[in-house]
Chains A and B, each alone.
Chain A
């Protein structure tokens, strides 16, 4: 089952996850969906992200960055008022190697939001979410404004 992409009309707030975040931009991430408590990001295949030059398979670190960024976006998608967030922990299970030359997508869901902490689940896949490359569970601290960033 393929979902419709709204890539051609992303929300301004969602575009910020790539435009305003240098590392997301450097990885070539794109925001595909951004709606209530969910985010879908894509990561195009790129030779600079290869972890094993013999096989051309992407490094796990690139997938870690995708899962982290997309999970954080899902938290923002769940918030009703703006808050700064910080990742507390992220556990990633690598289920299989990604395929060479194929874009990786990540769908993240913020399935629980409390006053202080947000909980996320995410899955990274090529075409079919039911055949994942990696899954992750994350927790995020809310309202972690650092000095100098007061509203």
Chain B
């Protein structure tokens, strides 16, 4: 069974953990998820191997980036009608304060879901949701792998972005 098929199955059964357990890297980070009301909350369980600064101690910035990116991807997978594996185009992380050695939670909002691109904002916090440790915005390619070829542009390939509607 392909990953997409197994994701579809996990979605049908409402088994969040199955979604995460499919991805080795999510297991490595110790990710889990739950619904709180209408919100999908992704949690990175604290573990010593997530530390980036043992003197403080503080979580590694990469782990927070990975949590934010993963939360955004799972939000897209969870909300989408048909599952397409989102491919990250860009991820921009703002680090607001150092991450304490605690569980970290993340919540995403899909600000725009187009035919090809989805924009997602994500926020991560620890003990107090009002003081986030990091926020991110991410842009994903959300096209199906076997998408039909695009209409051939008479101006030739790579002739720049598609003309705006109405342009001749």
**Which of B2, B65, B98 has the most chain A CB atoms inside 10 A of its CB?**
B65
Answer yes or no: B78 CB below 8 A from chain A CBs: no
Q: How far is the CA of A17 from the CA of B127 in the complex (A)?
A: 28
- CB of A90 within 8 A of CB of B23, answer no
B27 within 8 A of A: yes
> Which positions 33-56 of chain B face chain A at CB distance < 8 Å?
48-56
**Which listed residue, A49, A52, A93, touches B3 by the CB 8 Å rule?**
A52
When the two chains form their complex, are residues A64 and B54 in contact, meaning their CB atoms are under 8 A apart? no
Cβ 8 A contact of A21, one of B29, B51, B70? B51
The answer to whether residues A53 and B3 also contact, given A21-B54, A23-B49, A93-B89 and a CB cut-off of 8 A, is: yes
A20→B54 contact, CB < 8 A: yes
A42-81 contact mask (Cβ, 8 Å, vs B): 1 or 0: 0000011111111000111110111111001000000000
Question: Is B10 interfacial (CB-CB < 8 Å)?
Answer: no
Find residues 116-151 in chain A having any chain B CB closer than 8 Å to their own CB: 146, 149
Residues of B within 8 A of A61 (CB): 25, 29, 62-63, 65-67, 69-70
Contact with A89, one of B23, B27, B95 (Cβ below 8 angstroms) = B95
20 contacts between A and B (CB under 8 A): A22-B50, A23-B52, A23-B59, A23-B63, A48-B24, A52-B85, A53-B24, A59-B26, A61-B25, A61-B70, A64-B65, A64-B69, A65-B61, A65-B65, A68-B62, A72-B61, A87-B93, A87-B95, A88-B94, A94-B87
Name B's A-contacting residues (CB within 8 A). 2-3, 22-29, 48-56, 59-63, 65-67, 69-70, 85, 87-95, 98
